[in-house]
Structure 1
């Protein structure tokens, strides 16, 4: 065999074959569509055949949608309203931490309500963190908060990137106060800088004000539980797989 042919085979054909095979199995693991999902626990309130989204705390959703902050944003023409589940194909939700294993009445108890200002690159997201996400002291685990911040800040920054997708290069979080379990919280994020394949997003986790009034809230601000800064980048090779809707 010609040595040159052997070199080409080892240096090009085998890596390409390996990448293609691996990518094929990766895509296969992500179903196009799926039926309902159920949480694997013994909560007696659940009925057979219910999906996770049917199990959310509708009383909490109603409370949030009547709140002054939500009403202000939903009536602002610069903000678009959506739910987290709208951003994730049905077949992928069971594999998503927030919509799958951590979703439930005593966990992430509602489908997060998202309000997005595309002109200013800002988002406001309402969550409810149930008692099962707390530690032995009744405070929400920091790992859950880190997950929420990473996901939300990336979501805020994606639209500024060339292919509208990227990866976290760095995430700095400062935890200021513990969050009591069974709390409704508000995440606020904005893009502070973006250029080319990189953007910087800053955000906070705050308590939901008991009363929303511009004068009152100017004097008594909501509790700030944490603040974070995320550097989001788009790898160069992302542009070559833009046709794959798997990221």
Structure 2
């Protein structure tokens, strides 16, 4: 049901149909044992998140639907889960700017603006703000999507990422 709701949402349709974006769903594979993949496999996320990455390296848009297992307080999403989703979305949005397409988070700054409530669709919108060689900065916002209402800004985040020069991360991705 949540994935059907997502498919019908105008924000999703705009990004899905935009040829400037590439769709990734990296957590579908049972072989992927990452944190977000575990949320997908344990059904804490109603469906595998949709990561739309701009071909130009300018940013990303992510859609997901968290279930009650990810709450801290009743019906309120846990801040650590939110931080994990923002870190992933920011990373996908900026890695296209690095020659290796890999990087590591150096700094993640999060400001919680409004409660993130379970049982809603969410959208993260990320935009690269600056690239200097192997360094990159990106900004993102998490929105709660509701039927017949304007999206609600819940969280703002900035990230600083670096493409490692000597560490081979390919075996870890």
Q: Establish whether TM, by shorter chain, passes 0.5.
A: yes
For 1:103 and 1:128, locate their aligned partners in 2 and report how far apart those are by CA, in whole Å. Answer: 14
For 1:230 and 1:191, locate their aligned partners in 2 and report how far apart those are by CA, in whole Å. Answer: 9
**1:162/1:81 Cα in 2 relative to 1: closer, same or farther (>3 Å)?**
closer
The question of 1:246 aligning with 2:169 is answered: no
| More RCO (CA 8 Å, sep 6+) | 2
Q: For residue 200 of structure 1, give the secondary structure of its aligned residue in structure 2.
A: strand
Indicate if the aligned counterparts of 2:57 and 2:94 stay in contact, CA closer than 8 A: no
Aligned to 2:165: 236
For 1:90 and 1:131, locate their aligned partners in 2 and report how far apart those are by CA, in whole Å. Answer: 22
Rg bigger for which structure?
Answer: 1
- Structure 1 unaligned segments of length 5 or more: list them: 1-58, 212-219
For 1:183 and 1:167, locate their aligned partners in 2 and report how far apart those are by CA, in whole Å. Answer: 30
* Aligned pairs, number: 173
More helix by percentage:
1
Report Cα offsets for 1:149-198 as digits up to 9, x if no partner. 11111121111113221111111000001111222110111111112110
Aligned to 1:76: 18
- Structure 2 unaligned segments of length 5 or more: list them: none
Indicate if the aligned counterparts of 1:83 and 1:112 stay in contact, CA closer than 8 A: yes
- Alpha-carbon shift at residue 232 of structure 1 (Å): 0.1
Aligned to 1:64: 6
Aligned to 1:97: 35
Aligned to 2:122: 185
Report Cα offsets for 1:119-140 as digits up to 9, x if no partner. 2522111110101111233211
- Alpha-carbon shift at residue 80 of structure 1 (Å): 2.0
Q: For residue 162 of structure 1, give the secondary structure of its aligned residue in structure 2.
A: coil
For 1:163 and 1:144, locate their aligned partners in 2 and report how far apart those are by CA, in whole Å. Answer: 27
Indicate if the aligned counterparts of 1:162 and 1:196 stay in contact, CA closer than 8 A: no
**1:194/1:228 Cα in 2 relative to 1: closer, same or farther (>3 Å)?**
same
Give TM-score, length-normalised by structure 2: 0.89
Indicate if the aligned counterparts of 1:113 and 1:125 stay in contact, CA closer than 8 A: yes
Q: For residue 85 of structure 1, give the secondary structure of its aligned residue in structure 2.
A: coil
For 2:19 and 2:99, locate their aligned partners in 1 and report how far apart those are by CA, in whole Å. Answer: 26
Runs of 4+ displaced beyond 6 Å:
none
- Alpha-carbon shift at residue 236 of structure 1 (Å): 2.4
